[in-house]
Every structure is written in C-alpha cells, then in structure tokens.
Structure 1
Amino acid sequence: MDKSYIAGIFESCGYITFKKDVRTKNSVYPVVIIKTSNVQILEELKKLYGGSIRKSKNTCKIILSHRKALNFLKDIYDFLNFKKETVNLIVEFYEVRFTRKYEAQRKKDIVRKFIEIEGWNEKNYKVGNSSIKKWLEEDL
C-alpha cells in the first residue's frame, strides 16, 4: 500500500485524539483512529502498523496508540497536507524529553496546543477518571 494513499485515507477518514491512562496521574498518550466501511484497507494497515480493528454496524475502525501511532504518523508525514501541524505535536510529544520534574507540564502544554489547533469543544472531552479536561486542570 502506497504511503501517499495511506496519508490520503488518514486525512479524509482519520483523526488523532488523546487518552489518559487511569492507572497513573500524568500518563496520557495519543491515539490515531481511522474509520471506514472498507475492512480490507484497515486489515492492510494492521499488517503494516499493528493496532486493533473494531467493527460496528456500518463502519469499522483501526486504533493505533503509543509507539504504533507515532510510527504510523512519521511514516506518512511527508505526504500529509492538512494535518502536518498536529502530527508535529505528536512527534514532539514522544521525542523531546525533559527532566522528570518538567515532563508532566510539557505534556500538558502540548495537549493544550493540540486542542487549540484541532478546535475541540466540550463534546470532545471524555469525563470521569480518564478525562483529559480534568487532567489538564490538575495542579502539578
């Protein structure tokens, strides 16, 4: 499967979000989700990048998280048109490390910038223990 084709699928049918690990205080990670009705495309992507496929009535989706998401985004980066700025933030999220003292604040700053670029509203935030909004509001 051609990387430019994969990038086109991602830009038209995919998105990036963040999830919070409920087991830890400051652990958040990016998740790439691509939804389509074509299962064969998702199976090809799974062979290339891993992840898991979830099926529903009319559509199915592939979910890539952590390093799988990073590797996928780095692989298609040169072929992206609209989502390059967002992908840059994900790469920065993983590849630039600070001392442990400043790491949580750095991650929060990146997530805030991501939310600003993507134009999230209240509906995009998950509630409860895995809430990104709650995590952003916590003091360090």
Structure 2
Amino acid sequence: MPGARGWFKVRRRETTEVVIGRITGTIRHPQILILGRYDTAGRLRAVGRTTPLKPEPARQLADHLTPAGPEHPWSRGTLDPILVIPDRVAEISADTAIDRGTWRHPLRFVGLRLDVAVADMPTFGEGTQPASG
C-alpha cells in the first residue's frame, strides 16, 4: 500500500556461556534452567532462565546434573526449583535486551559445554552477557 508505514521489531541474539545453578522439574527430567554468572566478589548471580527444554536435550543434560547440598551459593526457597552443584556450563542463545543485569527475555539452551570450566568464564558484567546497571 503506497504511503503506508510500519514498524518492524528486530531482535538480535548472541550465544554465550552461563553456569547452571538451579532447575525446575526433576534431576532426571529438567524442564527449565536458572542460570548465573559469578561476579568479581565470587558470588553466583542469577542472570536468566531458559525456555522449556526439549526432551532430547533434557535427557542429555540430566546425566550431568547433581543435586546441591547446603553449600550452594543460592539460598533454598520454598519454590519448586532444585538447586544443582554449579559446576556445569551451558551455551545459550540470548536476546541482547538486558534489564538490571539480567536478560529480559527467556534464553534458549544450545547445549552443555563440557569443554569449558566454570573458572574459565568471564565474570558477571564482562563479555557477551548481562552487565550491571
């Protein structure tokens, strides 16, 4: 239609790595990952959550998750999420929209990164990830 104007919403996505700190569902059947990054003081800070996992990635991930004990850096709450030992790195695809240091939109799980150690990841606020602010 001549003279008509419209808006297009464009979302830009990037991939990066994050620490798996909590899950919903069960250890054998994880549904959603709650993810974090360590800050410069060594605190694990929540930065986002995934969309629901598809069955095959959830099965593959289940073999690598371990329930956490009382030493987990996040406190236990009364909600459904299960704390897991934060020693696994997930690759995710994230929209670049950030709000107060966390991704604004749900993250897409790309895969488990067994070749990346938690200690080798950038700290919260560095690299391709949410920054403080």
Both proteins in one fold, TM over 0.5: no
Structure with bigger RCO (C-alpha 8 Å, 6+ apart): 2
TM-score normalised according to structure 1 size: 0.29
Give the strand-richer structure, 1 or 2. 2
Larger radius of gyration: 2
Give the helix-richer structure, 1 or 2. 1
